[in-house]
Amino acid sequence: MVSKQSWLAIVAILMLFSATIPATTAYKGYQLSRGPVDDFTLVNQDNIETNFSDFRGDVIVVAFIFTKCPDVCPIITQSLRSVEEGIGSEYQQHVSFVSISVDPGYDTPEKLKEYTQLHGVDWPHLTGELAYLEGIWDSFGLVVQKNVLAAHIGDINGHQAADSTVILVNESGVATELMNLPTAWSTTKFAANEAGWGLNYSVHSEYGTMLNGIDGIDTPSDNSWYWELMTFNKTSESWAASSLGVDSVEHPISESIAWVASTADASLLPTPSEDQASVAIVFPDNTTKYQEINQSNGWYLTSSAFDGAGITYDAPDTQFGHYLELVNGEGPAANNNSWWWELHQWNQTTMAWEASQVGMDSIDNPEYLAWAPNYTDDATIPMPGAFAEDDSVVCDGHGWEMGSGANKHCMCDEGYEWPEDSMLSCVLADVEEEYYVGHSTTTLILDTQRKPVIAWTGDSWSPEEFIEDIESLVEDEGLVDTDSGKIPGFTILTSIAAISIAAVRIGSKQSSKVE
């Protein structure tokens, strides 16, 4: 049996939303207004080069998967299999299916071949070099996050990151849900904010954030000493110099950190609290300071989410508090200040986003926040739900729930798995699961010019409604003669429940293989 490995996982938090555009057809899925996707060449599961332009003239269904995914990807693949088999005969010749890997480091043509055979599908499943695929993902408007796996599987002790999230909607309407994953730099900023320390720092294009001074004590020009980052090991109850930069030390390691002048006595560092994140300092003269982080507000959550996702941003601190000025290079100043970043809070009663009437510093203990250009229709911001919190016992006490509504499912602890009749339970597994990962994804329907027209998010969509969208788009593209009337052409071979059960069985088969 293959032991659990620490691997570079990719979780696509992929929610594409856009304003509804005028159209002759009201599609069931989200309607998009996008330019055509650039042409590209990848290899399929048979190791044969495949050009995306080969599908021009067809309506194209594009899914994003990775073969290690035990839950969402199998369900989507099985649902698309039902879609492929259920399309009306008049329409089938005008529709192509394509799946693209978001984990090319693992998904070789051989792995994709095993995956397609396992699922009984034969449409192209494509992979290639990571650097090349990153450009393709960008062309689709796809956001692939590699750091979110830590939030899904936790550390070796089963730790889960805080469940608050921030949804970011960019200028193009692409929405991404970001986990609350503070870095050591987040922790440093929060401690400094509460203690009143001044921070002197710079951001290097290659090395990231560089701390140059704390509370007025700056590194000398001759570099005779420097500020050294240290982290606390709870197991050995000792401090150790960090081998990573301040931007790369992630939760939960960043809960307790220290900055020590390289010429100072590190043994003076105190043992931090087990319950509170904190920052300790040893100055060059061996004087010390210690600050626990006691607050939680909208600025803390926003910073933690952006820092954890590696998103660049500017949030100046003014007499009125912090305000968001620039995110990933996008800001009002570039557009003559014709718009601004608007903060939203999630209303649990109405189950809707509402524009915040106060600044982010005035929102105490936020659970879900969203940032979007002020011209964004609030109704198009996706509902939160990367994590679900419940005081009752969930997953039979052997896991935690992820998702919401019909997307909710258990992330089972090591040694446990779903039973065949439910994804909301965890039972003792016959074999040890190798990976526990869940994610939301987006499946796109493109027109004959390779323009994304319709998006279906998550894995709980109806194959019947998906087919209606495909057939409507085929008609709108003039590929069939509609004078004789539309052929319904839908036969669901299995129910959605059966698809979910099949996905669970498939996931179990995959995890039991010895590689």
Strands 452-457 and 442-446: antiparallel
Instruction: Indicate the pLDDT class of residue 24, thresholds 50, 70 and 90.
Output: very low
Instruction: Indicate the pLDDT class of residue 143, thresholds 50, 70 and 90.
Output: low
Please check the confidence at residue 294 and state whether its pLDDT lies above 50: yes
> Can you read off the two tokens belonging to residue 395?
């997953």
**8 Å CB contact between 108 and 115:** no
Helical (H) or strand (E) element with 344 = strand 341-347
Where is average pLDDT lowest: 40-49, 86-95, 412-421?
Answer: 412-421
- CATH 2.170.130 maps onto the chain at 184-292
Where is average pLDDT lowest: 111-115, 263-267, 358-362, 492-496?
Answer: 492-496
**Candidate CATH numbers 3.40.50.720, 1.10.10.10, 3.40.30.10, 2.30.110.10; the one for domain 11-148+439-511:** 3.40.30.10
Mean pLDDT within 205-233 = 93
The 3-state secondary structure of 499-511, one letter per residue: HHHHHHHHHHHHH
Report the candidate in 278, 238, 244, 283 with the shortest Cα–Cα distance to residue 262.
Answer: 283
CA angle 14, 15, 17 (to 5 degrees): 145
**Coil, helix or strand at residue 59:** strand
Q: How far is CA 211 from CA 13, 71, 216, 229, 469, in A?
A: 31, 42, 12, 9, 53
Dihedral sign for Cα atoms in the order 103, 96, 36, 483: negative
The average confidence (pLDDT) of the chain is: 80
Q: Helix axis angle, 184-195 relative to 298-309, nearest 10°?
A: 160
The CA distance from 199 to 211, in Å, is: 8
- CATH 3.40.30.10 maps onto the chain at 11-148+439-511
| pLDDT tens per residue, range 427-438 | 876 543 332 233
CATH number of this structure's domain 184-292: 2.170.130
125 φ/ψ angles, rounded to the nearest 5 degrees: -115, 115
Where is average pLDDT lowest: 146-150, 290-294, 371-375?
Answer: 146-150
What pLDDT score was predicted for residue 435?
27
What pLDDT score was predicted for residue 15?
35
Q: How far is CA 262 from CA 286, 362, 410, 508, in A?
A: 11, 38, 46, 51
The CA distance from 409 to 401, in Å, is: 6
